[in-house]
Amino acid sequence: MTVVLVVLFHMSCGQCKTLPQNASEWHCIPNGSVSEKGWRPFQESCYYFSDDQMPWNESQQNCSGMGSQLVVINTEAEQDFLYKEIQMKYRREQINLYIGLRAQEVGQWRWADQTPYNVSAAFWRPWEPSDQPSDEFCVVIHYQKNVFQFRNWNNVPCTIHSYRICETAAETP
């Protein structure tokens, strides 16, 4: 016996609701601070993939202005979802997108929402994070077209202009 779950997402507003066990579709909650365009649902969160580039601090402020934050990646399933969304949305040869991971000092990684950094749920590229140069305190997902690289985090200077992924918790009715 095969069971198929169909999830519908209505793009008429920017914030998703999780499916209650007896619901048959996703619902949105209108929120004046959240842009309607670009939000994608996954599990208990909604994600925004930006169309513009800015430094890490401005990226975090931009997400905050939409009632969200730079994405905190907790599981392999979430990392896989983000990779597939990037692959579908961006048609460039390669792209970097800020996530909510940052260091105050070399090797002292912290998530923007203060979630503890878990090395077993980290998806660094080979030979990353690099300690040199020592100004690479922010983290991007590095996507390269036609190169499947599930482990694709790279530490970079926080001042470079990159795209960003914002995340907000979905709400239940």
- pLDDT digit string, tens, across residues 85-94: 999 999 888 9
CB 123 within 8 A of CB 140: no
Please spell the DSSP secondary structure of 72-99, one letter per residue.
Answer: ---SHHHHHHHHHHHHHH--SSEEEEEE
Residue 74 one-letter amino acid: N
Could you check whether the bond before residue 173 is cis, i.e. omega within 30 degrees of 0?
no
What integer pLDDT is reported at residue 36 of this predicted model?
A: 53
Residue-wise pLDDT for 101-139, tens only, equals 999 888 899 999 999 999 989 999 999 998 776 889 999
- Whole-model pTM: value is 0.79
The CATH class for the domain spanning 46-169 reads alpha beta
- Ranges 1-10, 50-59, 104-113, most confident: 50-59
User: Using 50, 70 and 90 to split pLDDT, how confident is the model at 26?
Assistant: very low
Confidence of residue 8 (pLDDT cuts 50, 70, 90): very low
Domain locations in the chain as residue ranges:
46-169
pLDDT at residue 37, rounded to an integer:
66
When pLDDT is averaged across residues 1-24 and rounded to a whole number, the result is 36
